[in-house]
Amino acid sequence: RLLYLLQQETSSTELRTECAVVLGSLAMGTENNVKSLLDCHIIPALLQGLLSPDLKFIEACLRCLRTIFISPVTPEDLLYTDATVISHLMALLSRSRYTQEYICQIFSHCCKGPDHQTILFNHGAVQNIAHLLVSTSYKVRMQALKCFSVLAFENPQVSMTLVNVSVDGELLPQIFVKMLQRDKPIEMQLTSAKCLTSMCRAGAIRTDDSCIVLKTLPCLVRMCSKERLLEERVEGAETLAYLIETDVELQRIASITDHLIVMLADYFKYPSSVSAITDIKRLDHDLKHAHELRQAAFKLYASLGANDEDIRKKIIETENMMDRIVNGLSESSIKVRLAAVRCLHSLSRSVQQLRTSFQDHAVWKPLMKVLQNAPNEILVVASSTLCNLLLEFSPSKEPILESGAIELLCSLTQSENLALRVNGIWALMNMAFQAEQKIKSDILRGLSTEQLFQLLSDSDVNVLMKTLGLLRNLLSTRPHIDHIMSTHGKQIMQAVTLILEGEHNIEVKEQTLCILANIADGTTAKELIMTNDDILQKIKYYMSHSNAKLQLAAMFCISNLIWNEEEGSQERQDKLRDMGIVDILHKLSQSSDPNLCDK
Amino acid sequence: GWDKHSYGYHGDDGHSFCSSGTGQPYGPTFTTGDVIGCCVNLINNTCFYTKNGHSLGKEKKLGLIQVSFSSSQSNLYPTVGLQTPGEIVDANFGQQPFVFDIEDYMREWRAKIQSTIKRFPIGDRLGEWQAMLQNMVSSYLVHHGYCSTAAAFARVTDTTIQEEQTSIKNRQRIQKLVLAGRVGEAIEATQQLYPGLLEHNPNLLFMLKCRQFVEMVNGTDSEVRCFSARSPRSQDSYPGSPSLSPRHGSSNSQIHSTGADSPTCSNGVMSTKSKQSHSKYPTLTSSSSSSSSSSPSSVNYSESNSTDSTKSQQHSSTSNQETSDSEMEMEAEHYPNGVLENSSTRIVNGTYKHEEILQTDESSMEDGCPQRQLCGGNHAATERMIQFGRELQMLSEQLCREYGKNTVHKKMLQDAFSLLAYSDPWNCPVGQQLDPIQREPVCAALNSAILESQNLPKQPPLMLALGQASECLRLMARVGLGSCSFARVDDYLH
C-alpha cells in the first residue's frame, strides 16, 4: 500500500515523502523486513522516485535505498541492473549533503569486485566524490573516504588515477595523510590508511614514500593495539598484512614498530576468559570475533615473515607461536585454517626453522591433514608449504613420505588449478632430489608416464620446468639412471626430442640438455643417445648455439659421453669425431669461456 | 639505565634497562647513522624510544618510572653513553624537526585529554546542573552590572536575581566612572551610595586616590576636567546617567573650597548629602576631635580612617584580619579567588561597555587638543593636581602612622608621582599607568568591595570557578601531572 502511494504520481509529494520515510523505517528493522520489501520490488520504485524534482522526496528515497542496500540480504547487483541509475546518482551528488552522504554510502556498500569498481569509475566516481573529502560535514567526508577505499582496493586503475587528483590545490594522498592524524576518529584513520595502502600496492605510491613509511604504516600498527576495538584490530592487521606483503623494508620496519610481533600475540587471547556459557548468542559472537582476530594475526605474521630470516625467528620465538599455528591448522573456520597455513608457509622458507621448530612440533602431521579434502585456496598454500617441507635437508621429509604424500601430490598434478599443478610437481621434484631408488620408482609409478607426458606438454612454463626438474632429479646417480632408462627410456627420449624441437625458452632447453647430460652419465643409458643420431645432431647444434648456457649444457653431454675411464669410450669418441664435433670443440676452446677446460 | 632512577636503551643488544643492570629485550639494535629518539610522556608516566622515526613501543616497566617521576628530587635528564673514543653524537632537542612525528603524537594526547574533559560525568543531577549554569551566567552579568542583560536572562531562564535592580545600576554607574577615568566622581558616588564603605577600606580608598591622581595627570579626572571647556561634552558621553552631571559640578566646587582651607567642613560631599549615614556611627564625634591635631586637609581622611578602625573592631574577625595585614591585603584579595585576576578582568572587559565610552572620551580628547598635555594642558588643573598630590602624600603618611609601613602603598604613590618627573608622562618608564587598561583592576577592586559590603560575593561564581580551574592547572603543573599542558583554560574561552 505504501509502495503504491509512493509510486502514485498524482499523490502529493509530502505524502510520497512520508511513504518513503516510513518504508525506510521498516527497512531499519530485521532482515526479514528488508527481504519482504525487496520482494515487493521496492528498489525500482525508489529509484523511480529519484527522478522527482522535489529534493526532500529524493532525500527520503535515498535514505531508504541506503538502508536497504547496506543490509546484508540485499544483492548488490540490483544497483547495476540499469546503467542510467549510476549516472543519475552521480548527478544527484551535487544536490545536498544528505544526498552526498547516502549516495556515497550506497556506493561503498555496493562496490564489490573489479566489475563494480570499473562501472563506478567509468561513471566518473573519482572526480565526483573527490571534492566531498573536504566537505564540512563529517559524515559526508567519512562516506566519501569509504567509497575511495573500496574503489581503490586491489584496483590499479583507480589507484593510479587517485594519486593525481587534487581538491582545492591539495593532492588526494596529502588529504588522506591528513585524515591519518592521530586526533582524527579511528574510523577515519583506518579508512584513509586503507586508501593509501591500495594506492601503494598498485604502485601509485612508492613503498619508500614517507607517507607510507612514516604515516600509513605506523597508523596501521596503532590499529592493532589492544586499545582498539576488535573490528578495528582485525581490519588494521589485515590491511597492514596487505601493505607489507611484498616489501622487505616495510616488513622490517613493521616488525620493530611498537612491538607489533608481541602485540599480535594478544590476538590469540580472545575471548580472555571462558565465562559461564549462559548466553549462547554472546558465545557465538565471541567465537566469531576470536576467529577473525586469529586469522588476521596469522595473515600479518605471514606477511611479516615472508622474506626476512630475523623476523621469522622473532615470530617463532613469540610465546607458543608454533602451537598456535598447529592448532590453527585444524580449526573449524576455513578462514583461520587458510591464514594459519599461509603463516606456516611464510615461516617454512627458513632453513633453520625447518630443521628445528618445525620438527619439534611435527608440523607436517596437521599439514598433511589439511591437504586432505581441503578447498583449493587452502590446498595451494598448503601444498607449497609442503614443497618446502620436502626439501632434502628437511627432517620432515621422511615422515611425510610415509604418510602417503606421493599419491596426494600426484593427484594434485592432475588438478584443473594451475597453481596446484605447479605445487604438486614442484613438491615431487623436491622429493626426488637425492632420493632413494624406491622413492623414485614410486614417484614414477604414481605419476604414470602418460601423466608425465601430459605435464611435459602443459601450457604453463612453470609446470614444464618443474617436470623437467623432476626428471633431472630422478635421473641422477648412475644406477638410478640406468634403471629408469631401462624401463622408461623410450618415452623419455621421445619427450626430450620433442622439447628440443619445440618452441621453448632457453631455460627449458637448458634443463632438457641437462637431462640428456644425466642420461649420458648412465652406463647403459649412454647407448640410447649414441644410437639416436637425431639427438646427437641436436647436441651438436646446441654446442654452437649463441647462448653460453646451452653450449655449456651440451658440452656436459659430450663430456659425459666420451668420458675416458669407461668402457667403449673410444668408440664413442670416434663416432663423435666423425660427426665433426671435434672441430666445434676446437672452436670453443678458443673462446674465453671457462668450459674449454672440459676437453 | 644501570643506575638507580635511570632508564636506557642500548644499541649493542637492543635491550632496555630500567634502573637495573639486567636489561629486557626491547627493540632492534642500532649503530652509526641511526637516529634514536626518546619520548617521555608525563601524562601516563611512560617513555618510549624511536629508531629512525619509528616508535619502538611502550616501555613495560611503568611502575618504576612512576615512582621516580613523582618524587620531586629525581628529575630526568637526557644522557647519551658512548663506548669508543672519537664517537660523535648529534643531539636534537627540537631545534630541528624530529624524525618521529611527535606533533602527531601530541595531537592524539591532546584529543584524549579533551575528550576526557568533555565526557567527564556530571552525575544524574542534570536539572541541578543546568540551574547551576544559569546561576553562574546570571550572577556574572549581575556582578559586572549588565543589568538589562541580566534581567533579560532571568526572564528567559525563569530565574531570580538576588540583588536589586537599583543596586546593580548604582554599581554600574560607579564602574563606568572609574573606567572612564573619572575616579573622583566615582569616589563621591561611592561615598554617597555606600556610605562608610571607603572609610572601612582605607587601602581601597588609597588605591582609588592614587588612581585619581594618575587620571589627573591624564587629564581625564573631572576635578581637572572641569577646568577645561570640554567637560560638558564629555558628560554627554554618559547618556545612561543624565542626573549625574549637574550634581557633579556643585560637589566638585565644594571639595575645592573645603579641601583648601576649612578644616571644619572637612566632610565635603558627605556633609550635605550623607548626614544620615554618618549619624549611624557613634564614634564620629570622638574621631573628629582627634582630627584637630593633624593638618587641615587630612582631617577628612583621618576622620574616616578612625571611623574605620573603630568600626572594624566591632566588626567580625575577618575584617579585622584584613586591616591588620594591610600589606597583604591586595594579594589576599586576589590570590585565593583566582590567580588569574588580572587576565580575567581583561577578558571581562573585552565585552565591556566602557570601551565605547573610552573611545568617545579619547576621541573627544583628541579633537580637543591633538597633543596630550599634562592635566589637559590647563594651568589651574595642574595646580589642582599638585594640591591633590600633597593631600595624597599626607594620606599616605597618615595610613603609615596608623597601620605601619606599607610597601605596596609606597610603590603606588611613588609610581604615580614619578609621572610628574617626565616631560612627556605618556612616553616614560612609568607611563603605562596612564593606560586606560590600568583602570580595570581598580574598578574590579571597588566593585568587589561594594558587593562585599552588601553581603554579596565579591567575586562572581563564574570567575571563581575559572580561577579555581586555573589554579588547579597550576598546581598540577607544579606536581608534574602532565595532562595540564593539554587542558589550558584559554582553550575553552573563545
- List, for residues B386-403, the tens digit of each pLDDT value: 888 888 888 888 888 877
The span from the CA of A464 to the CA of A422, in Å, is: 9
Please name the member of B28, B104, B110 whose beta carbon is closest to the beta carbon of A256: B28
Residue B248 lies in a domain: no
**Contact status of A258 with chain B (Cβ, < 8 Å):** yes
Whole domain around residue A578: which residue ranges?
480-598
Among A416, A443, A474, the domain-final residue is A474
Please indicate whether residue A264 or residue B66 has the higher confidence score (pLDDT).
A264
User: Taking 90 as the threshold, does the pLDDT of residue B150 lie above it?
Assistant: no
Q: How far is A287 from chain B (nearest CA, A)?
A: 29
Percent share of chain A, pLDDT over 90: 17
* Domains held by chain B: number: 2
Interchain pair B55, A258: CB under 8 A? yes
**B11 and B111 together in one domain:** yes
Asked if A215 reaches chain B (Cβ–Cβ under 8 Å), the answer is yes
- List B residues 129-188 in contact with A (Cβ-Cβ < 8 A): none
Mean pLDDT, range A490-496, rounded to an integer: 77
B462 vs B349, more confident: B462
pTM equals: 0.70
Look at residues A45, A36, A58, A44 and name the one whose alpha carbon lies nearest to residue A6: A45
pLDDT of residue B239: 39
Asked if B56's CB is within 8 angstroms of A183's CB, the reply is no
Mean pLDDT of A147-165: 90
Q: Which one of A181, A215, A259 has the shortest CB-CB distance to B57?
A: A259
Same domain, A466 and A516: no
Q: Are B111 and A183 within 8 A, CB to CB?
A: yes
Same-domain check for residues B114 and B13: yes
Does A258 sit within 8 Å of B57, measured CB to CB?
A: yes
Q: Give B492 or A65, the one with higher predicted confidence.
A: A65
Residues of B in contact with A257 (CB under 8 A): 54-57
Q: Quote the minimal CA–CA distance from A256 to chain B in Å.
A: 6
For an interface test with B, give the residue of A179, A180, A182 to mutate (most B CBs within 10 A).
A182
Please tell me whether residues B104 and B176 are part of one structural domain. Answer: no
Say whether residue A214 is in contact with chain B using an 8 A CB cutoff: yes
Residues A397 and A498 in one domain: no
| Total residue count of chain A as it appears in this document | 599
Give me the mean pLDDT over the B162-179 stretch: 79
B244-261 and B183-193 are packed helices; what angle lies between their axes, rounded to 10 degrees? 100
Higher per-residue pLDDT: B172 or A211: A211
CB contacts of B15 in chain A (<8 Å) are none
Q: Which residues of B touch A260 (CB under 8 A)?
A: 57
Q: Chain B interface, mutation test: which of A259, A262, A304, most B Cβ atoms within 10 Å?
A: A259
Q: What is the mean pLDDT of residues A519-529?
A: 73
Q: Does A310 touch chain B (CB under 8 A)?
A: no
Calpha distance A252→B234 (Å, rounded): 78
Top residue of A211, A257, A313, A317 to mutate, by most chain B CBs within 10 Å, is: A257
> Are residues A451 and A500 located together in one domain of the fold?
no
Confidence of residue B372 (pLDDT cuts 50, 70, 90): low
User: Using a CB-CB distance cutoff of 8 angstroms, which residues of chain A are in contact with residue B57?
Assistant: 257-260, 263
Span B135-162, average pLDDT: 79
In this structure, the answer to whether residues B439 and B378 fall within a common structural domain is yes
Shared-domain flag, residues B11 and B109: yes
A410 and A469 housed in the same domain: yes
Q: Using CA coordinates, name the residue in chain A closest to B26.
A: A259
Nearest to B104 among A181, A257, A259 (CB): A181
Which residue on chain B is closest to A216 by alpha carbon?
Answer: B54
What is the DSSP secondary structure assignment for residue B486, as one 8-state letter?
Answer: G
Interface touch B108/A182, C-beta < 8 Å: yes
Mean pLDDT (whole number) for A424-441: 78
B465 CA to chain A: closest CA distance, Å? Answer: 28
Closest by CA to A422, choosing from A375, A472, A391, A379, is A379
Nearest-CA distance B326 → chain A (Å): 51
Structural domain contains residue A511: yes
Q: What is the DSSP string of B327-368?
A: HHHHHHHHTTT-TTHHHHHHHHHHT-THHHHHHHHHHHHHHH
pLDDT bucket at B427, cuts 50 / 70 / 90: confident
Q: Which residue of B has its CA nearest to A181?
A: B104
pLDDT in tens, B249-283: 333 333 333 333 333 333 333 333 333 434 344 43
What is the per-residue pLDDT across A69-97, written as a single tens digit (0 to 9) for each? 888 888 888 888 887 888 888 888 888 88
Q: Using a CB–CB cutoff of 8 Å, tell me whether B37 touches chain A.
A: no
Asked if residue A448 is part of any domain, the answer here is: yes
What span, in angstroms and rounded, lies between the C-alpha atoms of A148 and B268?
Answer: 82
Q: Which of A443, A474, A505 is the C-terminal boundary of a domain? A: A474
Under an 8 A CB cutoff, do B54 and A253 touch? yes
In the beta sheet, which residues pair with residue B37?
Answer: B50
Give residues 56 to 115 of B whose Cβ lies within 8 Å of A. Answer: 56-58, 101, 104-105, 107-108, 110-111
pLDDT at position A177 is 93
Rounded Cα–Cα distance for residues A61 and A64 (Å): 5
| Residue A256 sits at the chain B interface (C-beta within 8 Å) | yes
**Residues A17-33: pLDDT tens digits?**
888 888 888 888 888 88
Residues A490 and A467 in one domain: no
User: B41 lies in which domain range?
Assistant: 7-118
Of B54, B104, B108, Cβ closest to residue A256: B54
pLDDT confidence tier of residue A470, bands split at 50, 70 and 90: confident
Q: Given a cut of 70, is residue A183 above it in pLDDT?
A: yes
Contact A257 B27 (CB under 8 A): no
With pLDDT > 70 as the criterion, what percentage of chain B qualifies?
Answer: 63
For the domain that residue A430 is a member of, what is the CATH number?
1.25.10.10
Alpha carbon distance B354, B348 (integer Å): 11
What are the pLDDT digits (tens) for A373-388? 777 777 778 777 877 7
- Look at residue B377 in the predicted model and tell me its pLDDT: 64
- Judge if A438 and A541 occupy the same domain: no
Average pLDDT over residues A583-591: 65
Asked whether residue A420 is assigned to any structural domain, the reply reads yes
Chain B CB contacts of A253 under 8 Å are: 54
Q: What is the ipTM of this complex?
A: 0.75
Longest CA–CA span in chain A (Å) reads: 107
Whether residue A535 is predicted with pLDDT greater than 80 in this model: the reply is no
- Report chain A residues whose CB lies below 8 A from the CB of B56: 256-259
- In this prediction, residue A244 carries a pLDDT of 93
B461: left (phi > 0), else alpha (psi -120 to 50), else beta?
alpha
Selected residue of B104, B107, B112 to mutate for chain A interface (largest A Cβ count, 10 A): B104
Q: Is B428 left (phi over 0), alpha (psi -120 to 50) or beta?
A: beta
Is the pLDDT assigned to residue B339 strictly greater than 70? Answer: no
pLDDT band at A362 (very low <50, low <70, confident <90, very high): confident
Instruction: Report the pLDDT value the prediction gives residue B304, as an integer from 0 to 100.
Output: 39
Tell if the CB–CB gap between B56 and A257 is shorter than 8 Å: yes
Q: Which residues on chain B are in Cβ contact (under 8 Å) with A258?
A: 55-58
Q: Look at residue A170 and tell me if it is in a domain.
A: no
- Average pLDDT for B165-188: 81
Residue B442 has a pLDDT of 81
Lookup: cell for A167: 581538491
Considering the domain boundaries, does residue B298 fall inside one? no
Burial of B260 (0-12, 13-18, 19+ CB in 10 A): exposed
The answer to whether residues B91 and B173 belong to one domain is no
On whether both B88 and B185 belong to a single domain, the answer is: no
Q: Do A215 and B101 touch (CB under 8 A)?
A: yes
Does the pLDDT at position B166 exceed 80?
A: no
Residue A271: asked if its preceding bond is cis (omega within 30°), the reply is: yes
Give the residue on A whose Cα is nearest the Cα of B14.
A256
Total domains in the fold of chain A: 2
Mean pLDDT of B159-185: 79
Q: Is A273 helix (H, G, I), strand (E, B) or coil?
A: coil
Instruction: Say whether A257 and B57 touch across the interface (CB within 8 A).
Output: yes
Cα dihedral B363, B367, B371, B375 sign: negative
Q: Are B136 and B462 in contact (CB under 8 A)?
A: yes
Say yes or no to pLDDT of A392 above 70: no
Mean per-residue pLDDT for B91-104?
A: 90
Whether the CB-CB separation of A3 and A48 falls below 8 Å is answered with: no
Task: Confirm whether A592 is domain-assigned.
Answer: yes
To the nearest whole number, what is the mean pLDDT of chain B? 67
Among chain B residues, the shortest Cα distance to A252 is held by B28
Contact A299, A237 (CB under 8 A): yes
Structure-block grid coordinates of residue A279: 548466553
Contacts of B46 (CB under 8 A, 6+ apart): B40, B58, B59, B62, B65
- Give the Cα separation of A413 and A489 in Å (integer): 22
Q: Do B107 and A182 touch (CB under 8 A)?
A: yes
Among A474, A508, A537, the domain boundary falls at: A474
Q: Is the minimum CB–CB distance between A271 and chain B shorter than 8 Å?
A: no
- B132 in any annotated domain: no
Distance from CA of A182 to the nearest CA of B (A): 5
Q: φ and ψ at B24, to 5 degrees?
A: -110, 145
For residue B332, being part of any structural domain is answered with no
Q: Is residue A515 part of a domain?
A: yes
Specify burial of residue A441 (Cβ count, 10 A radius: 0-12, 13-18, 19+): middle
**Could you tell me if B17 and B112 lie in one domain?**
yes
Cβ-Cβ pairs closer than 8 A, A with B, add up to 38
Q: List CB contacts (< 8 A) between B27 and chain A.
A: 256
Same structural domain for residues A460 and A504? no
pLDDT in the model for residue A101: 92
Say yes or no: B15 and B110 in one domain: yes
Mutation to test the B interface, candidates A177, A186, A210, A214, most B Cβ within 10 Å: A214
